[in-house]
Amino acid sequence: MSIISFTSSPPWAGVAPADWNDWRWQLRHRLVTLAQLEQRLALTPAERAGIRLTGGKLALAITPHFFNLIDADDERCPIRRQVVPRLEESAFSPDEMADPCGEDGDMVAPGLVHRYPDRVLFLVTDRCASYCRYCTRSRIVSGAGEQELDTDFDEAFRYLARHTEVRDVLFSGGDPLLLSDARLEGLLARVRAIPHIQLVRLGSRAPIFLPQRVTPELCAMLKKFHPLWLSIHTNHPRELTVETRAALARLADAGIPLGNQSVLLKGVNNDALTLTELCQKLLLCRVRPYYLYQCDLIRGSAHLRTTIQEGLDLMNRLRGHTTGYAVPQYVVDGPGGGGKIPLNPNYIIAKTSDRFVLRNYRGDIYEYPEPSPEPAVLQHGRWKD
């Protein structure tokens, strides 16, 4: 497994390890302006123009840790494409939306989305350590977009207490791990005080953007709220640095089951070798690939989106070819509010009244005869005595 740490490489070579390893130092030293980025990276004209336009859309922010993963000599670097704005971001196509998953329509209290029967999405902050240029919530995340996330915690908790059908609460945002330990602990305690809520989940990219955030103290705090699951968001195997692997190990050692959500992105991970490597390495980090998302129709994402057919072809190259645990479920969020819809390559060739004709991962054909609806013929001899 070739995982590289860039910690000691320029341009932060002189930083004391104690500072570098401090998540608040990382946040304070994020690259957030054109000038800061330009000092460290030879930007292309399309990137420069893109950065100038971020103020009205989605803020620019890249942690030093994540910035160091960018290959400065490669304009098409898959890390760079995820976080450095490009001019294409301001080209909106007619199919694109500000709220592609239709979350605002399912908001039962400001910041609380109740779409599925037994679980809710709780947007607890609008801040992230770095901003993904394809963010599906760019309308409310980072403070630059057109809407404000105005979560009403008291109203949300009142809703949860009243709705006994809700057994699973997913904290997201923004990134819940950007809250302080004390603030997050307070929210987790309030959720845990509701008897019918069985499962608590966090969605966070902090282990990738800001692995220093995953301190032993944080893990000890999270452990008190089991069963607590955490989904991370990685798209490319290069994100699994030594620091990130150590952070994931601390979380796993705290008994937190880990999943990963990737977004299928053109020029980042839309090839079978990259996806396979990512999913296999995640298993070594004790992270189970959970979802592979078709990129949402967020405004300004055309340059990052693939076709669904390409996604299906990639899934076809994973299933059966590698460990089943390494294979995520490919899903598309039904544009406008349909929720997650699974997408699978077709393994059913034909279905007749009494059998299924199937293909395996290699394309070989097999038939499965369905059990006959008639009762099985009795073996008379066995029932006589």
Instruction: Assess 218 for contact with ligand PLP (CB under 6 A).
Output: no
> What single letter denotes the amino acid at residue 336?
G
**Interface residue with ligand PLP, options 115, 127, 213, 305 (CB under 6 A):** 115
Q: Give residue number: closest CB to ligand PLP.
A: 121
**CB 68, min distance to ligand PLP, A:** 31
Instruction: Assess 165 for contact with ligand PLP (CB under 6 A).
Output: no
Q: Which is nearer to ligand PLP, 190 or 340 (CB)?
A: 340
Q: Which is nearer to ligand PLP, 216 or 339 (CB)?
A: 339
Question: Which is nearest to 344 in space by CA: 372, 308, 299, 301?
Answer: 308
Angle at which helices 272-284 and 308-318 cross, to 10°: 50
Instruction: Assess 210 for contact with ligand PLP (CB under 6 A).
Output: no
Instruction: Assess 163 for contact with ligand PLP (CB under 6 A).
Output: no
**Interface residue with ligand PLP, options 1, 55, 105, 116 (CB under 6 A):** 116
132 is catalytic: yes
Q: Which is nearer to ligand PLP, 121 or 314 (CB)?
A: 121
Q: Which is nearer to ligand PLP, 61 or 297 (CB)?
A: 297
**Interface residue with ligand PLP, options 37, 83, 113, 177 (CB under 6 A):** 113
Question: Which is nearest to 166 in space by CA: 197, 144, 121?
Answer: 197
Per annotation, catalytic residue among 57, 86, 127, 137? 137
Residue the block writes with tokens 């004209």: 45
**CB 335, min distance to ligand PLP, A:** 13
Q: How far apart are CA 351 and CA 289, in angstroms?
A: 31
Q: How far apart are CA 244 and CA 233, in angstroms?
A: 12
**CB 142, min distance to ligand PLP, A:** 19
What's the length of the chain? 385
Instruction: Assess 303 for contact with ligand PLP (CB under 6 A).
Output: no
159 is catalytic: no
Instruction: Assess 160 for contact with ligand PLP (CB under 6 A).
Output: no
Instruction: Assess 288 for contact with ligand PLP (CB under 6 A).
Output: no
106 is catalytic: no
**Interface residue with ligand PLP, options 48, 119, 190, 226 (CB under 6 A):** 119
Phi-psi sector, 217: left (phi>0), alpha (psi -120 to 50), beta: alpha
Q: How far apart are CA 147 and CA 175, in angstroms?
A: 17
**CB 121, min distance to ligand PLP, A:** 4
Per annotation, catalytic residue among 126, 245, 296, 299? 296
What is the distance, to the nearest Å, from the Cα of residue 248 to the centroid of all Cα atoms in its chain?
15
Q: How far apart are CA 164 and CA 194, in angstroms?
A: 9
135 is catalytic: yes
Per annotation, catalytic residue among 115, 245, 250, 299? 115
Question: Which is nearest to 67 in space by CA: 142, 131, 2, 1?
Answer: 131
Instruction: Choose the stretch contacting ligand PLP; rule: CB under 6 A; options: 42-50, 111-119, 143-151, 276-284.
Output: 111-119
Instruction: Choose the stretch contacting ligand PLP; rule: CB under 6 A; options: 24-32, 52-60, 66-74, 110-118.
Output: 110-118
**Interface residue with ligand PLP, options 40, 167, 340, 359 (CB under 6 A):** 340
Q: Which residues are catalytic?
A: 115-116, 119, 128, 132, 135, 137, 296, 333, 340
Residues that bind ligand PLP (CB under 6 A): 113, 115-116, 119, 121, 170, 340
